[in-house]
A and B are shown apart, each in its own frame.
Chain A
Amino acid sequence: MAAVVDQNSPLRIAGREFRSRLIMGTGKFASGEQMAAALTASGAELVTVALRRADLTGGKDKFANILTFLDPKQYLLLPNTSGARTAEEACRLARLGREATGSAWLKLEIHPDPRYLLPDPIETMKAAEILVKDGFTVLPYINADPVLAKRLADAGCATVMPLGSPIGSARGLETRASLAIIIEQATVPVVVDAGLGAPSHAAAAMEMGADAVLINTAVAVAADPVRMAEAFKLAVAAGRTAFEIGLAPQHREADATSPLTGFLNQ
């Protein structure tokens, strides 16, 4: 198994190469230790962390210590702006986060609606333009909107991160038709983010040609987060392998394995 997936091509974002195509979130875990163990098992090299849970004053607050569980040698930190409801709030938080974490990579998320946490396309576009100019490597979380994805790529974003379904909903690829258009038209990597509740959802996204997926809730709230992280790792790698090889086309009817016109060659 390992030998097969090792032949998968690496993920490239903003000039950096990653062996793993699984990006992990760090929220909702029962403890910092459990989170660290699950991240290791996932094989992820890129992990996102909510800046609002970290101490951004430089004071190393032991009551806001999520960053201490994330070894910067093991992971590239992808701070996120969860909680921001406007471009202004996101930009302010991003700059403080860059100071505090030393990472200029940013998962830009602006969801003014705390109920479904759906991203605001207008504020996200505004913030992306500002932050790209400000030197950030911007990975914006968006609804599966193909035109917005093109606009953000044109503005210099490093990826686009369309959602499969609302955050934490575990409903899988409800936006499949739009995701297919985004992937088809993409000039930057497409990371399917949010709503992937089962390894099969992640594998399906990869089979469609997504460049990577981001998983959080499905691992964090699993009865055994470490084993679930590994299950996602295998699913993502398998889905990618299948995509690279090319899946057999699907048919409505059975396809005879003995050709019906073979007699013509006899």
Chain B
Amino acid sequence: MSFVATFNSLPATELCRYAQNATAVDVETALGRPSLESFAALISPSADLEQLAKLAHATTLRHFGKVIRFYAPLYLSNECINICRYCGFSRDNPILRVTLTPEQVAAEARYLRTEGFRHILLVAGEHPHFVSNNFLRDCVAQLRPEWPSIALEVGPLETEDYRPIVDAGAEGLVIYQETYNREVYAAMHASGPKMNFDWRLETPERAYQAGFKRLGIGALLGLADWRSEAIAVAAHIQYLLKHCWRAQITVSVPRMRPAASEFQPLTQVTDRELVQFVCALRLTFPEVGIALSTRETATLRDGLIPLGVTMISAGSHTEPGGYTGQGRADLHLTKAGRRIESEGEHATVQFEIADNRSPAQVASKLNMMGYEPVWKDWDISLNG
């Protein structure tokens, strides 16, 4: 039975109501009893955030110690076949686009290596022509000799299509459901294969079948009520821990950032609520990895790290060629799948980042906070 069936039978309404109405006593009872119901209590307005933060910090320390793993996103392409109302790469946005060649990808990656990174996340829009399965495999193969850990965040594929990419050396797969609310999902995804909610929801399971060892999930916060998204994310984690038990499960809590779409978030998640979400995840799932990107400000990131975060990016660019200017000569607009020549300085970003510190600056701040920045925590020889 896939997660779709589990998801469909969740008592979502009851859990969401509990997440609003749980009492301080319910929260107290929930601590130390990992279940979806207790997770709902932990994200309720009655929870004492300082108490949650103290417990989450202690739990993180015990399980992960005083170390933070670094990773860097590398955008391969901002071509996309989907229309997603909130995304900078949406097909209908007249943005400067480019797809790097595997050699250009390697050049960008070499720059990231000099910055210290040994864990890389390859990101691309969904486009079967520009971002083909073979292209993804070739990019992974190109990086394999130099990179101990390679993960992907790309459009969902069939299990069989993932296998050659795993064989080429990819270890992790990140896929955000964006929103777990079916109605909002339908309203946000107007065209393209991404319209298929269930197909996307089952992606981590297909990736696991294909041999990926690390599965990352999350909801894009700003589309539906955050508490309902949090409960769905928690249910998804719970399912994956049971059914994909050999994989390391990681979760992200991305909040919407300004992008070319000029989309305004439909819902708000305050800093305080984001912190509560992270603490509740840590307390309910002590062993799950939590990734934090440069979508958040330096102040918030530094504050969140001790509460549950295990991996962070730094100095990120969210456009292909962003680190070294690769692909500049090939910038263009894309309309109805056709190139329209255009010029510019760089490709358009997916979203604006909020923490502009360099990796070295973030690492030095971590040292000051009593954390060891870990750049390499995997080895290519561990990949099947």
Contacts and interface: CB of A to CB of B under 8 A. Distances in A.
Interface of A: 27-32, 50-56, 61, 63-64, 83-86, 88-89, 92-93, 96, 112-116, 168-170, 217, 220-221
Which are the 4 A-B pairs with shortest beta-carbon distances? Answer: A28-B65, A64-B376, A30-B66, A63-B375
Contacts of A30: 66-67, 370-372
Contacts of A32: 372
A30 B305 CA distance: 14
A89 B246 contact: no
Contacts, number: 88
Interface in B303-343: none
A143 B249 CA distance: 23
Given A88-B384, A89-B381, A220-B65, 8 more contacts: A30-B67, A31-B367, A52-B379, A56-B381, A83-B382, A112-B245, A114-B249, A170-B62
A57 to B, nearest CB: 9
Contacts of A54: 376
Interface string B262-298: 0000000000000000000000000100000000000
Interface of A, helix, strand, loop or mixed by DSSP: loop
Nearest to B367: A31
Given A30-B370, A31-B367, A96-B379, A113 B245 contact: yes
A113 B249 CA distance: 11
B65 A114 contact: no
B337 to A, nearest CB: 41
Interface of B: 61-67, 116-118, 148, 213, 241, 245-249, 287, 367, 370-372, 374-379, 381-384
Contact of A96 (B64, B378, B381, B384): B381
A86 B383 CA distance: 10
B66 A28 contact: yes
A83 B378 contact: yes
Contact of A31 (B287, B372, B384): B372
Contacts of A29: 65-67, 372
B384 A89 contact: yes
Contacts of B384: 86, 88-89
Contacts of B381: 56, 89, 92-93, 96
Contact of B65 (A27, A51, A84): A27
A190 B283 CA distance: 34
Nearest to A84: B382
A157 to B, nearest CB: 22
A55 B62 CA distance: 26
A115 B241 contact: yes
Contacts of B65: 27-29, 217, 220-221
A72 to B, nearest CB: 20
A85 B379 contact: no
B70 to A, nearest CB: 9
Contacts of A61: 118, 376
Given A28-B67, A89-B384, A170-B62, A115 B245 contact: yes
A63 B376 CA distance: 7
B372 A53 contact: no
B379 A51 contact: yes
A221 B370 contact: no
Nearest to A112: B246
Nearest to B116: A63
Contact of B377 (A53, A56, A85, A168): A53
A168 B62 contact: yes
B5 to A, nearest CB: 23
Nearest to B64: A28
Contacts of B383: 89
